[in-house]
Amino acid sequence: MSSVAVVTGASAGVGRATARELARGGTRVALLARGSVGLAAAAREIRAAGGTALPIETDMADHAQVEAAAERVTAELGDIDLWINGAFTSVFAPFVEIDPAEFRRVTEVTYLGYVHGTRVALDRMLPRDRGTIVQVGSALAYRSIPLQSAYCGAKHAIVGFTESLRCELLHSRSRVRVTMVHLPAVNTPQFDWVLSRLDRHPQPVPPIYQPEVAARAIVYAASRPGRREYWIGASTVATILANRIAPALLDRYLGRTGYRSQQADWPADPHRPENLWHPADGTGGVDFGAHGSFDGRAHRHSPQAWMSRHRRSLTAGAVALVAGTAAVGAALGRR
């Protein structure tokens, strides 16, 4: 029997690409998101490819809705083996221009949505003593940038929550595993529908990657949940390391460059949709798909992601190279 996975935020972007990647491997996938139009389109894609999809309209900020969705998944697809938390929303604006209600909404979806998803997954996995939970994180979980205070705060909170939970699972010797996958900038529709108060169209900070790069990494991490986290994209690793080495310098650098690097060359459309309170791909909306507006600039592959997947063999090769070099040096030294 094929396994059962739940993907939140599955109507678009990374979530949609991840659902397709899982379905290609034979996994039965439950798609959770608010947008009915996007969910229906994602389900059609999976079914057209011969897979099984169960779309469920769910607001991850509402624990009762998440619980009801999990009940339906179990009843219609079977026991949940994998739960991937990826749903989020955001506001692009300086902190003082974000209303308290907007900040709260971002936190409820982007942070508490992960908490709710993790809880309902554990309620079903712990009695069976098996299952995997993947938290889709970001480089911004370790290094905040301007104009995204609510999103960055939520991503930082996810790391703190997950690390605490992991310790508790280890204490109880549970075989349920939790891992995090921290992504770089990705070409998703969020930049076409995020609530923005910027003068120009928002954009991901280059370098930009296609959502399929993230999806492959997430599915790989789900199949090998022993590692506590995966960092995808050289920019993610460089950003996190730079923050650990010289955070004050990075503050100043981002203060100078962070506004411009998050805005495209064209002005913002005053009539653009926004999905903070209502899904842009809901009833009366359109299907945004997995990709955003930056296909011409987005990378389809990440060398760092490949290295992350092959870290063990690369480490073994490096050790062998060092050992071989040392042996040659020793032999030459004896001459």
Which residues does the annotation mark as catalytic?
151
Cα dihedral 319, 325, 329, 332 in deg (nearest 10):
140
Tell me the chain's radius of gyration from C-alpha atoms: 21
CA dist 188 and 55 (Å) reads 20
CA dist 331 and 335 (Å) reads 7
Residue 91: beta bridge partners? 195
| Residue 177 burial (CB count, 10 A) | 19
Q: Which amino acid is at 278?
A: H
Helices 13-24 & 36-48, crossing angle to 10 degrees? 20
Q: Which amino acid is at 335?
A: R
Evaluate whether 7 touches 55 at the Cβ level (below 8 Å): no
Residue 39, token pair as written in the block:
């969910």
* Three-state secondary structure call for residue 6: strand
CA distances (Å), origin 65, targets 5, 32, 279: 17, 10, 16
Evaluate whether 97 touches 196 at the Cβ level (below 8 Å): no
Provide the CA 6 distance to its chain's centre, in angstroms.
14
Residue 63, token pair as written in the block:
């624990």
Evaluate whether 210 touches 163 at the Cβ level (below 8 Å): no
Provide the CA 74 distance to its chain's centre, in angstroms.
24
